[in-house]
Amino acid sequence: MTPPQDKGRDAPETTPESIPGTIPETAPEARETCGDAPPDASPEAPPEAPAGALPEAFEEEGAAPAPARGAEVIRSYLSRLPRRPGVYRMLDAKGQVLYVGKARDLRRRVSSYARASGHTARIGRMVAATASMMFLTTETEAEALLLEQNLIKQLKPRYNVLLRDDKSFPHILVTDHPFAQIRKHRGARRAGGRYFGPFAAASAVDRTLKQLQRVFQLRTCEDSVFENRTRPCLLHQIKRCSAPCVGRISERDYAASVEDAVRFLSGRSTQVQEELAAQMAQASAALEFERAAALRDRILALTQVQATQGVNPETVEEADVVALHEEAGQACVQVFFFRAHQNWGNRAYFPRTGAGASAEEIMEAFLAQFYADKTPARLVLTSHAPANADLLREALRARRGGAVELSVPRRGEKRALVDQALRNARESLARRLAEGAAQERLLEALAEAFGLPRPPRRIEVYDNSHIQGSDAIGAMIVAGPEGFEKSRYRKFNIKPGELTPGDDFAMMRQVLERRFARLVREDPARGKDMWPDLVLIDGGAGQVSAAAETLAALGAGDLPVFGVAKGEDRDAGKEVFHAPGRRPFALPHRSPVLYFVQRLRDEAHRFAIGTHRARRAKSAMANPLDQIPGVGPARKRALLAHFGSAKAVTRAGLKDLKAVKGVSEALAETIYAHFHPEG
């Protein structure tokens, strides 16, 4: 959006409706209020990039305005800003967002940027690059904090701290069912039942589920399987399920096992063990030795589970522990989850630190973004006090729907938990820095081996996958200084009507045309980081020639293109490399660069094959009637009811098709022609 032209100081300030206590998924443009353009702003300033088409990262400006000019632009807004909470955005001359900030008092906060000097180097660069601003008012400062962090995640401004991992965490779900199912759950909590978590990784959930199966023998099968079984499954044979599907356990006894499992997940495992021991003694006294033996086995399994939980805290029932370590301009945040006195795992994050943000700023931004779509624990322990702690506490309270304690412990078991997380953060960052240095050396060696002007920052690798031309797909993977960038992988469904089935050269042309035609359209000046520095093709001279011709036709013929062809006997280590205008060459057998390129090629191959298998599986399940125009759900049901199967419909004659109730003569002819194109 481009700020509207000056309408005078009396122009009304539009205030959006109050924002709920939870962070919205997007920041709707309808709620936005633009600040008026500065009086001397150029009317030809480009508009802000729309949501959904924003760049992954901000690029350095070619000619940033002088600090005094940026401060003058900011100063021009002050007289029209309200003295109330809100969110402000700083934009450069291209309309790209530099920074998103919140304020209790918009006028006072923005005025702090309106001087040409006295800023830190980071703030000075940001002020110098500011060409316009946008504003949005809120009812409270807490709402401004929530909206600020949501906009940061959406817009990815250069000067903000950005959490780059938005993966959801898995939970354990005990369903609402007379014979409850226990299973792993990820995503929205739409299914009825009791949820336990979060767990840091799916492996932690799987491990806990195995423990629960051994001790409580609850079913993990889906309801559809449960309702249609006629004999026990293998899990019952190995004593991992009590087989409620075939009546091997009563509903009452099964419900008791479910309740024991819930208590175990709630941290009351000792109480469960004592009750099981009492039941075993009663069964033994009643001469029910088989039942007593079963209870004994459950007690032994529970004892083994408890023996592996020595690292669990005694005084902390529920807490999230967040520790931050900074080194060499990078940061690592470790998050540990403790629920029911049990350690449910940890995960490391490497946020972009906003070009020099303080530890307090990083901690505040991380917590606000991390809990944007997650429920915080009642207690959040941190290694550093976040900036605006009271405001953040209020936002977390709104997210949880209850009180949240936010503290930096100084002693005792809580401090020990923070120190453990801090040690893990330090070690994780050290490993990442070492891996990053090794990756940089590999990229430098790759540039030297391939004759590139500089080490590539973005490598795109392409591969195709199909079976005799069917379900053909193209795949692109991306790698750079931080390794594989899986969020940037892309797949291309090959359009079969435009090429001969199995024509690999034509497939590669189609993939590259679609990929680079979009790049040329979206960024013709190559000012963003969307363009590759190196293109690798899984193939030989023919593939490379087709790729080079396609890129040249699109105006991207200057991009380095290399083909990775299997060498003699198609053995790994004997690869031959092809490039336009160069003789084929090979790399030394034990060259680290060769291993690196092999990893890139193998990852592209893995991604292409996996995508192809998924498409093939989907095609196998597809109904051929879905592809016929005019055949909707009702007519499809009528055809299947009349003929018994879709395969029988494909073999039906025209007269038989016309006899189906609800199928007109014209539609019958359309169906017949679809399956009999020869007439």
Which part of the chain is CATH 1.10.150.20? 624-675
pLDDT of 55 > 60? The answer is no
Q: Three-state SS for 142?
A: helix
Dihedrals phi, psi of 265, to nearest 5 degrees: -70, -20
pLDDT tens digits, one per residue of 156-181: 888 888 887 656 788 888 898 889 98
Quickly name the fold that domain 624-675 has: DNA polymerase; domain 1 (1.10.150)
314 touches 413 (CB < 8 A) = yes
Mean pLDDT of the chain: 79
Q: Please, are residues 355 and 159 in contact by the beta-carbon 8 Å criterion? A: yes
Domain with CATH 3.40.1440.10 in the chain: 29-159
Which pLDDT score is estimated for 468? 65
Name the band, by pLDDT with cuts 50, 70 and 90, for residue 621. Answer: low
Strand order in the sheet with 182-185: 182-185, 171-175, 193-196
pTM summary value? 0.60
Residue 253, both tokens? 């006894």
Q: Which CATH architecture has domain 29-159?
A: 3-Layer(aba) Sandwich (3.40)
Q: Does domain 319-430 have CATH number 1.10.540.10?
A: no
Residue 67: both structure tokens together: 């600090």
Once rounded to an integer, what is the mean pLDDT over residues 369-377?
Answer: 85
* Least confident stretch, 137-151, 380-394, 445-459, 561-575: 561-575
Using an 8 Å Cβ cutoff, are 307 and 327 in contact? no
> pLDDT tens digits for 5-49?
333 333 333 333 333 333 333 333 334 444 444 434 333 333 333
pLDDT of residue 308: 47
Give pLDDT tens digits for 568-579: 665 556 789 999
Angle (CA) 641-644-645 rounded to 5° is 115
pLDDT band at 472 (very low <50, low <70, confident <90, very high): confident
Query: 15-29, 410-424, 526-540 — which is least confidently predicted?
Result: 15-29
List, by residue range, all CATH 3.30.420.340 domains of the chain.
Answer: 319-430, 459-617
Q: What is the DSSP string of 324-392?
A: EEEETTEEEEEEEEEETTEEEEEEEE--EETTT--HHHHHHHHHHHHTTSSPPPSEEEESSPPTTHHHH
The whole-angstrom separation of Cα 369 and Cα 550 is 42
- Cα torsion angle, 528, 534, 539, 543, sign: positive
Paired residues of 173 in beta bridges: 183, 195
What are the structure tokens assigned to 568, written together? 């003699």
210-251 pLDDT, tens digit per residue, is: 877 887 888 988 888 888 888 888 888 888 888 999 888 888
Q: If one looks up domain 459-617 in CATH, what number appears?
A: 3.30.420.340
Pick the closest to residue 38 from 72, 85, 12 (CA basis): 72
What SS3 state is found at 417? helix
Distances (CA, A) of 116 to 90, 485, 511: 16, 39, 49
